[in-house]
Amino acid sequence: MKSRRHEATGLRDGFSVQPGRRAFVPSWRVRTASRRDHRRRTGYTSVAVSEPRSRRRLLKELGVLGAASALLRGTRARGAIAPGAGAPQPSGPAAADGTILPRTSTTDVWIPPRGRSFQKFSFDFPEPAVAFDGYEFSFRVFTHENVYALSAPALTATPIDGGLEITCNGLVWAGGQERAPGRVTARLTRRDGAVDCDAAVEIERPIKAVATIVRGVPRGRLSGAGAAFFDPRDDEVLLGYPFSGGDLFGPQGNGGLTTPLVLIQPRDSEAIVAISSRDDRVRTKRFYFQPGERGYRVEALVEAEAWRPSTSLRVPTLRLARTTTLRAAVEDHDAHLERAFRLPRWETRADVPEWLRSIALVVTLHGMHYTGYVFNDYARMLTILQWMAARMPAARVLVFLAAWDGRYYWDYPAYTPAPRLGGEAGFRALVSGAQALGFRVMPMFGANAANRGQPAFARAADAVTTKIDGDRLDLNWVDWDNDRHQDGWLSYMNLGVASWRRWLEDRIAGVVQRYGADAYFLDIAGGWINDPKADMHEGTRQLVASLRRRAPRVACVGEMHYDALVEFIPMYHSFGQTLAADVVQRHARFFQHLSHPAPGRGSTGVHEAGFGRWNPETLSLSDTAIPTLNVVDDTFDRYRAEMDAVIQRARSRAGI
C-alpha cells in the first residue's frame, strides 16, 4: 500500500544520479500538489533529476568550549541550570574528557530555528553534559507522565580503562525546578576507532523512553540507513525506526529508517560520521538532528517495550564513529545485525525455494480499485500472461496479484475471489493456467489492515493496535474516495494478538490449499508499532513459521523491510538503501512497488497515489531491484511495445 514511505532518502549530492532517474528529497522542498499524498505520509518525496548534481555544505566540525565542573557544582535551585545558559558558547578547543558542562536544550542550536523545525520546550531545559572524545553526552528520561533530566549536583564522571563511567543519583523535572528520585549510569568507551555509549536508567515510574543527547556531531549531508544522501541545510531532521518510529502520519512528517543507522558526510571531508544503535531486539528508535552554527545536537531515543512495562531500562549501545567510510560503517552495522538477529545469507536461506532464486522479472497484475473499478479481471490476466510467455521464460517470472480479492482494502480481511473479477472458478482458472505456462503466482494479503464494517472484523476486534501512550492507531492516512479527507474505516491490526494472527493464517493457508498459490504477499509487513498489547515482530514471526509448517514450499514475501524482519522473510517490494544495496541484499531480494508507474501514462493502478511518471528511456527500472512491470487497465492494449521493452531488459539483466 505504501510507496517507499519507510526510507529516509534525499538528493544524492556527490553521488551519481543518471538523467531521467529519480532521487529523493525532503518533501518540504517540493511543493507540488501531485506530491501531496506521498509527502504527507513520509516527509520525503521523489523528484526527477535532469542532470547529475553535486553539492556540499560549508560546515566544519568544531570543538566546544565548556565550563569547569566546579562551576556546575555551584549551581543552585535543586540542580537547575541558570537561565541564559543556552546561549551559544564561543568556539574553542574541545573540553577535556570527564569535564561536566552546564548545557541546556538551547545550547549551541539555532533559537529560533532557521528552517523546518519540530516542537520543543519554550525554555532552557537542563542538559548537564559530560565531555568525552570531542563529544558531549547527556540524557533525558521519559515516563508516561513527565520528562526528567540529570540533576547537575548529583552527576559524576569517573575515569575507567578506555573511557569514563557516568553516574547520576538524582533527576530533575519542571525544567529543573523540582527534584525526583532516579538513577542514570553510563559507560563511554573507545572501541575500534569509535565511541560506544552504554546506559541504564532506574526511576519510580514505568519508563516510556530514554534519550541520549550528543553534541559534537558535525553538520553535513545525511543518509538514513544507507539511503541516498540529502542536504537538510538549516532544517531539523527526525528519523525513526522502524516504520518511522511509530509517528509516520502526524504533522511532523518523520523520515523512516529500516535499521537504526544514520550517516553524516561533513563538507570537505571524505570521512563519514556514523551513528548507530546496537540492539538485539526490535524497539522504536528515533534520531533527531537539531542544527547550530558548529554542529548538530542529536537526540538518540529508544522506547521501552510497551507490552512489558518496567521502572528500569538498559539502553542499547549507541556507537559514534567519527572517521569512517560509508562502506566500513555499513559493513560494521551489518555484522552486528547478522549476530543480533541471525540474518541468513541469500544463497543458503532455507526459506527460499529454488524457483524464487531464479526470478528475473516480477509482473504486478492490478485487479480491482477501492472504488470497484476493474483494471484486469482474471480472464484478462491470464490472456496477458499467455502473451508474456511467448517472450520470457515463464519460470523466471513471479506474478503478483494485487487486489485480486475485490475492492482494494475495502474487502479486507475476507480474502476470497471477487465475483466481478470472475469468481472462484475464474480465479482457479487463472492460477492453474498461469502455472501450466510455468509462472509462479503470489496473491496479496494485508498483514495488519481490516475494515471494521466487514462481518469478519468482530472475530479479531481485540487486535486493534494502540501506540505506547494508549491512543488507538487506525489506518486512516489515505483519501480512498477522493473527497479530500482521509478516510477512517480501517483498523490497524496487531499480529502479536492471537485472534488476528489465527484469522490471517487461516485465510492465507486456505488460498494456498484451495488454489495452489506459490507464494503469499504480506502488505505493510514492515509496519511495526510499539503496541502495549503484544509484540508485532514476534507475532509476524509466528505467523510465517506456522504457514511454513503448513506449506513448506510456499514462499513469504513482504512489503517493506526492517532489519530483524529479514531473518524470516526473504523478499520484499520497495527498496531505498541504494548506497548499501550490495550489503543489504546479501540477505534478501527486492522488487519495485505496486505503485511503480505503469508504462504509458504512469498509472499506479489500485494504489492511491494515482499517477507517477513513466520514463521511456530507463523504463522506470531500478538498478537495485528486480525488474518489475506493472499492468493496469490500458497497459496491454496500448503499451505492449513498452511491456516488451521491460521484458527484454529483464532478460538482458538475467543473461537469458
**pLDDT tens digits for 279-331?**
999 999 999 999 999 899 999 999 999 999 999 999 999 999 987 899 999 99
> Hey, what amino acid is at 289?
F
User: Would you kindly state where each structural domain of the chain is located, as residue ranges?
Assistant: 1-57+223-293+317-341, 62-217, 346-559+592-654
Phi, psi for 9 (deg, rounded to 5): -130, 165
**Extended beta strands in 452-608, E state:** 490-492, 519-523, 555-559, 571-573, 589-591
Contact 559, 523 (CB under 8 A): yes
CA 276 to chain centre: 14
Residue 195, strand partner residues? 190, 320
Exposed e or buried b per residue across 207-231, where buried means at least 16 C-beta atoms within 10 angstroms of its C-beta: bbbbbbbbbbbbbbbbbbbbbbbbb
**Predicted local confidence at residue 23, as pLDDT:** 33
Sign of the C-alpha dihedral computed for residues 26, 31, 33 and 36 taken in this order: positive
Euclidean distance between CA atoms 394 and 387, whole angstroms: 11
| Chunked mean pLDDT (size 10), the chain, 656 residues | 40 29 32 33 33 30 28 31 36 84 97 94 98 97 98 98 97 98 98 95 98 97 96 95 78 82 91 96 97 96 98 98 91 97 98 98 98 98 98 98 98 98 98 98 98 97 96 94 96 98 98 98 97 98 98 97 98 95 98 97 97 97 97 98 98 98
**Predicted local confidence at residue 89, as pLDDT:** 42
CA 501 to chain centre: 23
Quick one: which of 343, 217, 213 has its CA closest to 274? 217
**Predicted local confidence at residue 7, as pLDDT:** 37
Please give the torsion angle defined by the CA atoms of residues 493, 495, 499 and 501, in that order, rounded to the nearest 10 degrees: 120
The DSSP code for 566 is: G
Q: In sequence order, which residues have a C-beta less than 8 Å from that of residue 25 and are 6 or more positions away?
A: 9, 10, 11, 44, 45, 46, 47, 230
The three-point CA angle 529-531-537 to 5° equals 55
Grid cell, residue 83, equals 537561565
**Predicted local confidence at residue 318, as pLDDT:** 98
**Predicted local confidence at residue 92, as pLDDT:** 57
Q: Using alpha carbons, list the distances in angstroms from residue 614 to 402, 452, 595, 646.
A: 20, 36, 11, 12
Q: In sequence order, which residues have a C-beta less than 8 Å from that of residue 125 and are 6 or more positions away?
A: 104, 105, 149, 175, 176
Task: Say whether 321 sits in a helix, a strand or coil.
Answer: strand
Contact 450, 518 (CB under 8 A): no
Hey, what long-range contacts does 460-463 have (CB within 8 A, 24 or more apart)? 460/413, 460/493, 460/497, 460/499, 460/500, 460/503, 461/499, 462/497, 462/499, 463/493, 463/494, 463/495, 463/497, 463/499, 463/500, 463/501, 463/533
CATH code assigned to 346-559+592-654: 3.20.20.80
**Length in residues, the chain:** 656
Model pTM score: 0.87
What's the farthest any 2 CA atoms get from each other in the chain? 83
Euclidean distance between CA atoms 427 and 381, whole angstroms: 10
Euclidean distance between CA atoms 140 and 176, whole angstroms: 12
**Predicted local confidence at residue 353, as pLDDT:** 97
Task: Say whether 41 sits in a helix, a strand or coil.
Answer: helix
Quick one: which of 634, 255, 248, 163 has its CA closest to 476? 248
> Hey, what amino acid is at 616?
P
**Predicted local confidence at residue 49, as pLDDT:** 32
**Predicted local confidence at residue 74, as pLDDT:** 32
Tally of CB atoms within 10 A around 196: 18
Exposed e or buried b per residue across 12-31, where buried means at least 16 C-beta atoms within 10 angstroms of its C-beta: bbebebeeebbbbbbbebbe
**Predicted local confidence at residue 252, as pLDDT:** 55
Euclidean distance between CA atoms 257 and 556, whole angstroms: 22
**Predicted local confidence at residue 84, as pLDDT:** 34
Residue 23, strand partner residues? 47
**Extended beta strands in 181-246, E state:** 182-191, 194-203, 207-217, 221-224, 237-241
Quick one: which of 297, 289, 301 has its CA closest to 233? 289
The DSSP code for 463 is: G
